[in-house]
Amino acid sequence: MSRFVKFLVLLLVTLLIVSCKSSPLSSVSVSPEKVLHGQVIDVLDGDTVKLRSDWHIYKIRLAGIDAPEKQQAYGVQSKIYLEHLIADKDVSIKVLSCDQYGRYVGKIYLNGKDINGEMIRSGYAWHYYHFDSNPVYAGFMLDAQRANRGLWQEAHPTPPWIFRKGRN
């Protein structure tokens, strides 16, 4: 590949990243078929990771889920479980959008397995039904509740969106 073509590819990728980081969610247009492939280099919490793909580092927010905050019950366990699933592993991410914090929002797949769904199914995240109407995720959450898995071992776990309101 010529230097000029490499330069153009790098320029286009940079522009995409900058547009994601500087745009509010409502004005971001992310191609629904955009897929990133790379290695998870850091798990920040139970619903956010850093991905190295080609020459770039991306912050990815897992779509459709909301994990406990680190200061909440099961917050640390949620992070540890996600690390167990995907830390230092090669994954694919179907990018769905970009959020107000400049993160890509997407579904993470490891060897075809839906990691977002696994976080809910195992009881380490809520289905974030305010932003996602996936009936499969709703079923995973109900099953986790009934089986008292993960955070559902608590009598009345506080959803992260309620916890965050209490801190502000």
Residue 167 annotated among the catalytic residues of the structure = no
Which residue out of 33, 52, 103, 118 is catalytically annotated?
Answer: 103
Question: Position 147: which residue type?
Answer: A
Which residue out of 3, 52, 69, 118 is catalytically annotated?
Answer: 69
Residue 61 annotated among the catalytic residues of the structure = yes
Which residue out of 3, 33, 52, 61 is catalytically annotated?
Answer: 61
Q: What is the largest CA-CA distance in the chain?
A: 61
Residue 92: which residues within 8 A CB-CB, separation 6 or more? Answer: 35, 36, 37, 108, 109
Cα–Cα distance, 81 to 43 (Å, whole number): 10
Q: Look at residues 82, 87, 91 and name the one whose alpha carbon lies nearest to residue 35.
A: 91
Residue 146 annotated among the catalytic residues of the structure = no
Q: What amino acid positions are annotated as catalytic residues?
A: 61, 69, 103
